[in-house]
Structure 1
Amino acid sequence: MIPAPTYLQFHLVFSLPVLAALWYLAPRHVGRRRRRAAAGIAVLVAIAYAYTTPWISYMIRRGAWSYADGAVVVRALSVPLGEYLYFAIQTLVVAFALHRLGFDPTFRDSDFDRLPRAAGVLAGVAMLGGGLWLASRDASLLYLGGVIAWVGPVLALQWAVGGGYLARTPRTWLAATLLPAGYFWIVDRIAIGMGTWRIAEEFTTGIAILGLPIEEMIFFFAAGLMAVNGLVLFEWVLDWNDRGTAAGSPAEEADADTRLVPEPGDD
């Protein structure tokens, strides 16, 4: 019997090659756009580690998923090294895919419309409450409820900040979320089939598509969605700040003062 590949071997075969390909295909921004893109990616990777590690650690300790004997080399807080690598790899894959597809972070006044922002906040809060309720209702709903509750607060915050922008650019963030998620669905199914990791039946609903538990599909979509929204909003906020700074620059203020001085002959 062929032993299951280790987590690091999985990355070498399935994760790192696609990451390298997307890095190669990603546009080479220059100047300020390049600096902002790099800063946004760095910030999102840091947030991914800070926000995801406690949740992943809890789910692993509960037994929602486990790993084949010998598949894990090092653990920290019950989380394998391979999972920590996944946090950065998935964020980078999503980021390079987003920049390859392209997006416009230009701020518009309508981006601060209250309706989409309020709707997004309500949806995120509902996801948090609903997810926690599901997870506490039955063991088979732990993973499903946990992932819904995990993503809810982030989506609420993102839509509170830039709900108007996200509402007018759905093609951007949906495409950049679905394409990487589709790839991760495929390789995740392969890893499960090879036995590198296992999803516990007692903590899942049993609903699967082509052998991939629906909870795993939601996880990869949700993680990608949070990353995409974070990346586009990072540059959108900076563009909004640029416009506010330009509007309040000394030159603008001087022009405004000049316009307030009465011309000779004015009453």
Structure 2
Amino acid sequence: MTTQFTYFGIHFAFLLPPILILGWLAIRRDRAWWGVRPLSGLGIMIALAIVYTTPFTNRLIPVGVWWYGEGAVLATVWYTPIEEYLFFVLQPILTALWLFQVRPTADRSLAIPRTHRLLGVAGGLAIAVIGWALLDNTPTYYLGWLLLWAGPVLALQWGFGSTYLWNVRRPLLVAIAVPTLYLWLVDRIAIELGVWVISDAHTTGYALLGLPIEEALFFLVTNLFVVQGITMYVWVLDRIGGVSAWTNASPRLPTSSDDR
């Protein structure tokens, strides 16, 4: 049966509108992050998302971990639909533009205790090891690959800046939670519409708010990647340059109060 809603339809209905709104707010609001530093950080995150996620999806799709409804996608490159590659671009943009509103920042030097770095690396690697152990069982196959895939990135990020991330934990939590909850909703809608289907055989059967736990975890860790990555990128440039991301921002569009 051909689904009446397509993957491109998901992008147009649920991703592009908030991206346009948040982008407009980032340009207009004086207190939002904008300019070369945060935007170049976003560009790096997009490039890394494409490079790092492409092998992941092309490993799991042919195994049958998930598939797409009939007529839901336009074309595929390798095993992955072009709409999925577009999502690799749109999700970081959506999450980053929300992050630009929250702008987690603390005045802390780049010097971090070695024990903190070691604990951060150990935490990420432990996640990867758990994922590796879960690959042997079919019901934990998706979860295992997800943890194995996420662990090395988290090890790098936590090893580099776990102390700083802890210092800005409250705004960081807001920056991660809001887009994650929103994408959980979008994913749930897409599954209900049959745009994509998650394999029962390759998942644990546990759900969070009606969403397979593996899907919920995917959006959580990918938003962690984006938010932590850009936050630390801006932090490093601030420490090196001695100027904050928003005081070195590009000129914004004039507001009504500016015209008076």
Q: TM-score scaled to structure 2, two decimals?
A: 0.87
Higher relative contact order by CA 8 Å / sep ≥ 6: 1 or 2?
Answer: 2
1:47-87 per-position Cα deviation (integer Å, ceiling 9, x unaligned): 11011110111111111100011111111121111111111
Name the counterpart of 1:44.
Answer: 45
Does residue 92 of the first structure (1) align with residue 93 of the second (2)? yes
Compare CA radii of gyration and give the structure with the larger one.
1
Report the CA distance between 1:119 and its aligned residue: 1.4
Asked if structure 2 preserves the Cα contact closer than 8 Å seen for 1:107 and 1:239, the reply is no
- Identical counterparts, % of pairs: 38
Name the counterpart of 2:252.
Answer: none
Asked if structure 1 preserves the Cα contact closer than 8 Å seen for 2:27 and 2:34, the reply is no
Name the counterpart of 1:22.
Answer: 22
Report the CA distance between 1:105 and its aligned residue: 5.7
1:141-177 per-position Cα deviation (integer Å, ceiling 9, x unaligned): 0111111111110011011211221121111222111
Name the counterpart of 1:69.
Answer: 70
Partner SS state of residue 67, structure 2: strand
Asked if structure 2 preserves the Cα contact closer than 8 Å seen for 1:173 and 1:225, the reply is no
Partner SS state of residue 61, structure 2: helix
Query: Structure 2: how far apart are the matches of 1:67 and 1:94?
Result: 24
Name the counterpart of 1:218.
Answer: 217
Name the counterpart of 1:158.
Answer: 157
Report the CA distance between 1:3 and its aligned residue: 3.1
Name the counterpart of 1:182.
Answer: 181
Asked if structure 2 preserves the Cα contact closer than 8 Å seen for 1:74 and 1:80, the reply is yes
Report the CA distance between 1:241 and its aligned residue: 2.4
Report the CA distance between 1:106 and its aligned residue: 4.0
Q: Which has the higher helix share?
A: 1
Name the counterpart of 2:145.
Answer: 146
- RMSD between superposed Cα atoms in Å: 1.9
Unmatched 5+ residue regions in structure 2?
Answer: 243-260
Name the counterpart of 1:81.
Answer: 82
Query: Structure 2: how far apart are the matches of 1:116 and 1:93?
Result: 30
Name the counterpart of 2:130.
Answer: 130
Q: TM-score scaled to structure 1, two decimals?
A: 0.85
